[in-house]
Amino acid sequence: MCRCTRLPTNRGRGQKRGRRPSPAASREPVRKGTAMPVIERTVDKNSDLYKLRHSLAHVLAQAVQELYPGVKLGFGPPIDDGFYYDFLFPEGVVLTDEDLKGIQKRMQKICREDQPFVQEDLPFEQAIARLTEMGEPHKVEYCKELHDKKGFDTIGFYTNGPFVDMCEGPHVENTKNLRPDCFKLHSLAGAYWRGDEKNVQMTRIYAYAFESKDELKAHAQAVEEAKKNDHRILGQKLGIYSIADEVGKGLPLWLPNGAAIRHELEKLAYEMEFAAGYHKVSTPEITREGLYYTSGHLPLYKHSMFPPMELYEEGPGGGGEGDENPTERYYLKPMNCPHHHMIFKAQKHSYRDLPLRISEYGRCYRFERAGALQGLTRVRGMCMNDAHIYVTPEQLKDEFKAVMDLHKTYYDLFGFEDYYLRLSQWDPDDPKKGDKYVDDPEGWAFTEKVVQEALEELGLSYTMERGEAAFYGPKVDYEFRTVTGREFTATTNQLDFAVPKRFGLVYTDSDGEEKTPYCIHRAPLGTHERFIAILIEHYAGAFPTWLAPVQVNIIPVSEKVIDYAKKLEAMLRKDLVRTELDDSNATMGKKIRSGTTRKIPINLIVGEQEAEQNTVTMRRYGIEDQPVLALDTFVSELRDEIRDRVDVRRDMR
RNA sequence: GCCACCGUAGCUCAGUGGUAGAGCACACCCUUGGUAAGGGUGAGGUCAUGGGUUCAAGUCCCAUCGGUGGCUCCA
**Residue A35: per-residue pLDDT:** 38
Nucleotide nearest to A384 (CA to C1'): B75
Q: Bigger pLDDT: A40 or A73?
A: A73
**Does the pLDDT value for residue A352 go beyond 50?**
yes
- CA dist A564 to A559, A560, A589, A609, Å? 10, 9, 20, 11
* Through-space separation of residue A251 CA and nucleotide B45 C1' in angstroms: 26
Tell me how far the alpha carbon of residue A182 is from its chain's centroid.
Answer: 30
* Through-space separation of residue A98 CA and nucleotide B15 C1' in angstroms: 22
Which strand B bases fall within 7 angstroms of a protein CB?
Answer: 1-5, 11-12, 25-27, 29-39, 65-75
> Which residues make Cβ contacts (< 8 Å) with residue A520, sequence separation at least 6?
A388, A389, A391, A396, A399, A400, A403, A493, A494, A495, A496
**Residue A25: per-residue pLDDT:** 39
A457 residue type, one letter? E
**Does the pLDDT value for residue A530 go beyond 60?**
yes
Nearest residue to B72 (CA, C1')?
Answer: A197
**What is the average per-residue pLDDT within A67-95?**
90
* Through-space separation of residue A288 CA and nucleotide B66 C1' in angstroms: 32
Tell me how far the alpha carbon of residue A619 is from its chain's centroid.
Answer: 33
Q: What are phi and psi of A227, to 5 degrees?
A: -60, -25
Q: What are phi and psi of A509, to 5 degrees?
A: -80, 175
Nucleotide nearest to A599 (CA to C1'): B36
pLDDT in tens, A203-228: 999 999 999 999 998 888 888 888 88
Nucleotide nearest to A618 (CA to C1'): B35
* Through-space separation of residue A121 CA and nucleotide B15 C1' in angstroms: 59
- Evaluate the omega torsion of the peptide bond into residue A601 and state whether it is cis, within 30 degrees of 0: no
CA distance A56 to A232: 34
Q: How many residues does chain A have?
A: 653
CB atoms within 10 A of CB A480: 24
Nearest residue to B38 (CA, C1')?
Answer: A587
Residue A580 half-sphere exposure, CB side, CA atoms within 13 Å? 18
CA distance A624 to A626: 7
CA distance A222 to A91: 38
Nucleotide nearest to A26 (CA to C1'): B36
**Does the pLDDT value for residue A202 go beyond 70?**
yes
* Through-space separation of residue A372 CA and nucleotide B1 C1' in angstroms: 9
Nucleotide nearest to A594 (CA to C1'): B36
CA distance A389 to A473: 14
* Through-space separation of residue A536 CA and nucleotide B14 C1' in angstroms: 31
**Residue A20: per-residue pLDDT:** 30
Q: Bigger pLDDT: A439 or A41?
A: A439
Query: Interhelix angle for A256-275 vs A528-538, to 10°?
Result: 110
* Through-space separation of residue A516 CA and nucleotide B48 C1' in angstroms: 55
CA distance A75 to A52: 16
Listed residue (A18, A16, A7) closest to A628, CA to CA: A16
Nucleotide nearest to A616 (CA to C1'): B34
Listed residue (A598, A599, A482) closest to A533, CA to CA: A482
* Through-space separation of residue A362 CA and nucleotide B64 C1' in angstroms: 34
pLDDT in tens, A373-415: 999 999 999 999 999 999 999 999 999 999 999 999 999 999 9
| Sequence-ordered strand ranges (E) for A524-568 | 552-556
**Does the pLDDT value for residue A42 go beyond 90?**
no
* Through-space separation of residue A200 CA and nucleotide B2 C1' in angstroms: 10
The share of chain A scoring above pLDDT 90, in percent, equals: 70
Residue A237 half-sphere exposure, CB side, CA atoms within 13 Å? 19
- Top-confidence range, A88-102, A138-152, A177-191, A595-609: A595-609
User: Could you report the predicted ipTM of this complex, rounded to two decimals?
Assistant: 0.93
Q: Do residues A510 and A609 lie in contact, with contact meaning Cβ atoms separated by under 8 Å?
A: no
Listed residue (A433, A347, A339, A349) closest to A388, CA to CA: A339
CA distance A354 to A519: 11
CB atoms within 10 A of CB A650: 12
Confidence grade of residue A338 (pLDDT, cut at 50, 70, 90): very high
What is the gyration radius of the CA atoms in chain A, in angstroms? 30
* Through-space separation of residue A370 CA and nucleotide B50 C1' in angstroms: 22
Q: DSSP states of A435-453 as a string?
A: HHS-S-HHHHHHHHHHHHH
Q: Environment class of residue A252 by beta-carbon count within 10 Å: exposed (0-12), middle (13-18) or buried (19+)?
A: buried
pLDDT in tens, A95-153: 888 888 889 999 999 999 999 999 999 999 999 999 999 999 999 999 998 888 888 88
Nucleotide nearest to A95 (CA to C1'): B4
**Residue A394: per-residue pLDDT:** 95
What pTM does this model have? 0.90
**Residue A29: per-residue pLDDT:** 57
Q: Could you give the dihedral angle defined by the CA atoms of residues A86, A91, A97 and A103, in that order, rounded to the nearest 10 degrees?
A: -70
Nucleotide nearest to A206 (CA to C1'): B70
pLDDT in tens, A619-643: 999 999 999 999 999 999 999 999 9
CA distance A378 to A368: 8
**Does the pLDDT value for residue A296 go beyond 90?**
no
Q: What are phi and psi of A382, to 5 degrees?
A: -145, 160
**Residue A259: per-residue pLDDT:** 96
Mean pLDDT of chain A: 88
Nearest residue to B71 (CA, C1')?
Answer: A191
Strand, helix or coil for residue A491: strand
A211 residue type, one letter? E
